[in-house]
Amino acid sequence: MELETLLPWLLFSATLVWFFFLATKTLVKSPKTPSSSTAIPKAYPIFGSAFALSANFNRRVQWISDILQTIPSSTFVFHRSFGSCQVFTADPAVVQHILKTNFPCYGKGLMFYQSINDLLGDGIFTVDGEAWKFQRQISSHEFNTKSLRKFVETVVDVELSNRLLPILSEASINQTTVLDFQDILQRFTFDNICMIAFGYDPEYLLPSFPETPFATAFDEGTRLSSQRLTAVTPLIWKVKKILNIGTERRLKEAVAEVRGLARKIVRAKKKELEEKAVLLESVDLLSRFLSSGHSDESFVIDIVISFIIAGRDTTSAALTWFFWLLSKHSHVENEILKEVNEKSETVSYDEVKDMVYTHAALCESMRLYPPLPVDTKEAAYDDVLPNGTVIKKGWRVTYHVYAMGRSEKIWGPDWAEFRPERWLRADVDGKWSFVGMDHYSYPVFQAGPRVCLGKEMAFLQMKRVVAGIMREFRVVPAMAEGFEPEYTAYITSLMKGGFPVKIENRNNT
């Protein structure tokens, strides 16, 4: 781009940044009353509500959630800069409308594609239309095979027995050891999902806690892509991309590392499969796609990297918050422990299915701390939502999973309580049975045609991990009394600052 063309954009961007700085500085210094912090933010010409968003940026998930709780329709229009609009909702009827009833109108859209495409390419999480349908179809076929499930079981059990539990055992012996349990779980799930997706072991969960290039680059790529999605003014990152500076340069380097290694793995896997007469039943997703005739290099890289981002961060986030809540609710811990001890020493996956109370506790944990706090679609044409909100073509519509999990309208006056029993019904003999929630009121795994393909597999993995850890160990937060960790989010949720814990061996207490 010519300097004469680029200079006005740079000056304009600098002006925007200056305005945001002044507005944020002023707003942060101003004392907030409960009414002003939960009011629909005021919109200004050109800038929209960017000043309010900038002031609340570090707690934007909680801020939007607070606003939604005060609105009768649980829906409002947020005005972004340059006249664009985004609708936020916590109304189950609206969620059903955009995910099922008028599904053709609401795709991922151009903004999402531009923000995440560098990392995920044209994978299932970035594309719409026929490309999405095709990838969904072939992925659905593979996820429903018994052989893949068996492979997943083996991968999880090996990583659990050979890496995770020995690290926890060592920490339980030395009581001065404090582990970042969030980091441990991220490493555990990263090894798992890379093996499931690529048949590649990054060896990220080792006693030395190595910083492997692939995992580091993947983290960086995910974080910086998320910053694009949540940017107050997307124009700024687009200019930085043109100039190849700052965060955009780091993103480019991270993506090159991730996709470069993925390309090497794909080529090696192709060669390996060519040398084999038949495909073994218990193999990774990449081998399955290649053996099914999907040999285009970019295609398989895109779809497999998409599954890594879906399977790694969501599961580790769910388990992090689960163990935090468990440490505060001893009666829930005791119920789960009783359920675990009723199973064989090495809990099989058939036995995991029967861990009903554990399943309910995981659902309840994800209600309060969803791995994906929000999900956004873009309107392909004008529409009207069930609650009367008018939608224009190109508007983004965001259903706020975090807000829905804290909605008194959906969950009742005890919504703030961690109570797995809300998901259960006891028969005359006192045996629990699980009572599911309407998917559009609890869209943690999306719903309708886009419902998560790996949902059941994720529950099996999480329950297997919970059983393996809890049978032997107690996870004890190493935090000051009364400290409440902060829920934050990039693409998926995190416990800000990590989750420091000590490990106690149950046999020694």
Q: Which residues are annotated as a binding site for heme?
A: 452
Query: Three-state SS across 41-84?
Result: CCCECCCECHHHHHHCHHHHHHHHHHHHHCCCCCEEEEECHHHC
DSSP letter, residue 164? I
Structure tokens at 131: 């490309």
Beta-carbon count within 10 A of 276 CB: 10
What's the one-letter identity of residue 88? F
Beta strands of 175-298 (E only): which ranges? Answer: 179-180
Is there a contact between 65 and 410 (Cβ–Cβ < 8 Å)?
no
Residues 33, 22: Cα–Cα separation, whole Å = 21
In this structure, the chain runs to a length of 509
Residues 277, 344: Cα–Cα separation, whole Å = 39
Structure tokens at 14: 């600098």
Q: 230 CB contacts (<8 Å, ≥6 apart)?
A: 57, 60
φ/ψ region of 494 (left if φ > 0, alpha if ψ in -120 to 50, else beta) reads beta
Structure tokens at 462: 């999480």
Residue positions in the annotated binding site?
Answer: 452
